Amino acid sequence: MAALIAENFRFLSLFFKSKDVMIFNGLVALGTVGSEELFSVVAFNCPCSPARNYIYGLAAIGVPALALFLIGVIWNNHTWNLVAECHKRGTKNFSAAATFLLFGSIMGRACVAPITWSVISLLRGEAYICALSEFVKPSSLDKFPAVDGAEVLAKFPCREVPANLTKFRDEVTRRLRYESQLFGWLLIGIVAVLVFLTKCLKHCCSPLSYRQEAYWAQYRSNEDKLFRRTAEVHSRILAAKNVKQFFGFVALDKEEKELVQEFPVEGVQPSPQWNAITGVYIYRENKGFPLYSRLHKWAKGVEGNGPTPEGHELLFLAS
């Protein structure tokens, strides 16, 4: 138990430090595996009762997967960029291809954790056995006693059966575990093929060369990192000035005093500027020169996000 908890804390530490998409997805999958193991040890307890088994088994697989999916959607920056885009500018600048790419990016990233949860649950087989044990046909079991089949079969996951039914319990458990693991491996195979085809399609349809796409990824990462760091310093200095104006002084530590002296902050950016750099970005070129982000476009004084006589939309969203 202590090892599982420690593993999840290490996962969270790496999660917040990770910037690479593949590392991010891998850490999400590993964290989901650890969480599923912890859930199975602590929480999973089949009721072994007709009708309840099915609901409980499906809930044990589906509800956590749904929760993980929603968390993935919430944590994705594209989700809130889309909300901001629809609120401020509508969807008039979106083509069908751009909309498909955007939702594909959001859904694909959000599906990593729930798919991992579902696969691990199916490979373990406990929830599947709990859900479907009562639906095994007694006639498919050789010399099964003429008793209330569903009532007895529902108790098989809990091993609460008479000694004369032990061999039937083992056979039912083995059969359902086989089906559960088969579905788990099939799901892994389907997801692997879809990921492969998606990566191929992305690179085939990308208007950028491999090196330029790598540069764009580095630019986005650096811009986001510098923007967040600068915004944190700017907001701290502005807050210090406002607090000083209210109280007549402000209690700053040595580092904060150096920041206030080094970076003069005169005011705040007006709302139109914030709106201009917020929202979904579709890669564009202007007079042959690339514009790598909304901030880059704003800095160059380019208006709009759709095709213009001086630029063209390439329908390739930042991932």
Q: How far is CA 274 from CA 88, 232, 294, in A?
A: 11, 15, 10
Percent of the chain at pLDDT > 90 equals: 28
Across 96-119, average pLDDT: 82
Q: What pairs with residue 290 in β-bridges?
A: 285
Summarised one tens digit per residue, pLDDT across range 245-291 is 999 999 999 999 999 999 988 888 898 898 888 877 778 888 888 99
Query: How far is Cα 135 from Cα 133, in angstroms, rounded to an integer?
Result: 5
pLDDT (0 to 100) of residue 251: 93
**Residue count (the chain):** 319
- Worst-scoring range by mean pLDDT, 12-16, 190-194, 292-296? 12-16
User: What is the rounded average pLDDT for all residues in the chain?
Assistant: 78
The DSSP symbol for 277 reads: T
More confident call, 264 vs 225: 225
Residue 305 pLDDT greater than 60, yes or no: no
More confident call, 94 vs 301: 301
Most confident residue range from 70-79, 102-111, 242-251: 242-251
Q: Are 123 and 50 in contact (CB under 8 A)?
A: no
Residue 11 pLDDT greater than 90, yes or no: no
pLDDT (0 to 100) of residue 193: 95
pLDDT (0 to 100) of residue 46: 87
